[in-house]
């Protein structure tokens, strides 16, 4: 059974962003994943097609009503049940657990999920009580609804699928994954060699693969130390358990000595 996302959303058109573009589009064409959107408006119980109402207890904004949401979720689940393909219902919500690579990798390795997108102030709490298995957030900032979070979840999962990425660059090389060992990526350059007075670092033009590898690792270490010290601490803790390599220890000493940080002009 391929990875499949059923998305409950008032704005199914937004999902063209992954259906019609880039890596996710190609993977869809290759049959590596599937997506279907379910619009609660199709289950509205009034002539206006409205699916929201004012919050009990007063206050600003509107709340998505339970019935149309539950019926959309039920319809999504029913198509999956027909294939014996039950999955979790994940509500994208500011109250959810912040998403990370581990959860994405778990989802990508499974059969997918029903992704529930809220709008307005949120959804009736009884839907969460009755239908939702998990609440997931993108982090501590305010979006206008769950759709962009659902798009992020799907995009991040799809690029993990074997065969989704074109060239040798595999998903495990992404920052935060195993490949880079939890370090940030190094800087990248392409032609021209000189751009607006800024040159490409000589080492990258040298053809000396060992020096290039060492420079990139050093840049990754320096940037991670500068921008994400908590990530470097985690990386070091893992490394010191197994043993920091001589090269890694040497590079970290060099970085300390040089006060090297990603940007030349940093204060």
Q: Pick the binder of ligand 9D3 from 143, 177, 204, 244 (CB under 6 A).
A: 143
Chain centroid to Cα 223, Å, comes to 21
Q: How far is the CB of 228 from ligand 9D3 (least distance, A)?
A: 20
Applying the rule CB under 6 A, the residues between 39 and 98 that interact with ligand 9D3 are 92-94
Q: Kindly report whether the peptide bond that precedes residue 116 is cis, defined as omega within 30 degrees of 0.
A: no
Q: Is 212 in the site for ligand 9D3 (CB under 6 A)?
A: no
Which stretches within 21-141 are classed as H helix?
22-29, 66-81, 101-109, 125-131
Would you call 121 a catalytic residue per the annotation? yes
Per-residue CA distances from 131 to 89, 97, 102, 171, 260 (Å):
7, 17, 24, 32, 51
Candidates 43-51, 142-150, 157-165, 256-264: pick the segment binding ligand 9D3 (CB under 6 A): 142-150
Q: Is 142 in the site for ligand 9D3 (CB under 6 A)?
A: yes
Q: How far is the CB of 141 from ligand 9D3 (least distance, A)?
A: 6
Would you call 94 a catalytic residue per the annotation? yes
Of 68 and 146, CB closest to ligand 9D3: 146
Cβ distance 104 to 88 under 8 Å?
no
Would you call 20 a catalytic residue per the annotation? no
Q: How far is the CB of 16 from ligand 9D3 (least distance, A)?
A: 19
Would you call 85 a catalytic residue per the annotation? no
Among candidate residues 154, 82, 66, 60, the one with its CA nearest the CA of residue 114: 154
Give, for 140, the enclosing helix (H) or strand (E). Answer: none
Angle at 1 between CA 164 and CA 101, to 5 degrees: 50
Residues in the chain, total: 267
Report the C-alpha gap between 29 and 228 in whole angstroms.
Answer: 37
Instruction: Identify the active-site residue in 94, 135, 155, 214.
Output: 94
Q: How far is the CB of 259 from ligand 9D3 (least distance, A)?
A: 35
Candidates 5-13, 137-145, 157-165, 178-186: pick the segment binding ligand 9D3 (CB under 6 A): 137-145
Which residues participate in catalysis according to the annotation? 94, 121, 159, 174
- In the complex, which residues of this chain contact ligand 9D3 (CB under 6 A)? 92-94, 118, 121-122, 137-139, 141-143, 145-146, 149
């Amino acid at each position: 059974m391929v990875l499949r996302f059923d998305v409950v959303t008032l704005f199914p058109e937004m999902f063209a962003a992954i259906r019609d573009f880039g890596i996710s589009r190609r993977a869809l064409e290759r049959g590596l994943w599937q997506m279907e959107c379910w619009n609660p408006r199709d289950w509205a119980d009034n002539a206006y097609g409205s699916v929201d109402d004012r919050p009990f207890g007063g206050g600003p904004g509107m709340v998505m009503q339970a019935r149309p949401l539950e019926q959309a979720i039920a319809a999504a689940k029913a198509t999956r049940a027909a294939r014996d393909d039950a999955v979790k219902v994940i509500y994208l919500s500011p109250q959810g657990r912040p998403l990370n690579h581990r959860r994405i990798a778990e989802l990508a390795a499974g059969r997918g999920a029903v992704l529930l997108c809220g709008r307005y102030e949120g959804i009736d709490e009884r839907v969460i009580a009755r239908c939702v298995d998990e609440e997931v957030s993108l982090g501590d900032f305010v979006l206008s609804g769950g759709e962009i979070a659902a798009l992020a979840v799907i995009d991040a999962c799809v690029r993990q699928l074997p065969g989704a990425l074109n060239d040798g660059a595999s998903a495990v090389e992404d920052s935060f994954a195993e490949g880079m060992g939890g370090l940030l990526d190094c800087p990248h350059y392409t032609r021209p060699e000189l751009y607006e007075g800024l040159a490409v670092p000589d080492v990258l033009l040298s053809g000396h693969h060992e020096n290039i590898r060492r420079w990139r690792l050093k840049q990754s270490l320096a940037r991670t130390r500068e921008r994400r010290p908590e990530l470097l601490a985690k990386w070091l803790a893992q490394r010191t358990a197994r043993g920091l390599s001589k090269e890694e220890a040497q590079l970290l000493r060099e970085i300390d000595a040089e006060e090297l940080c990603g940007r030349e002009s940093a204060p």
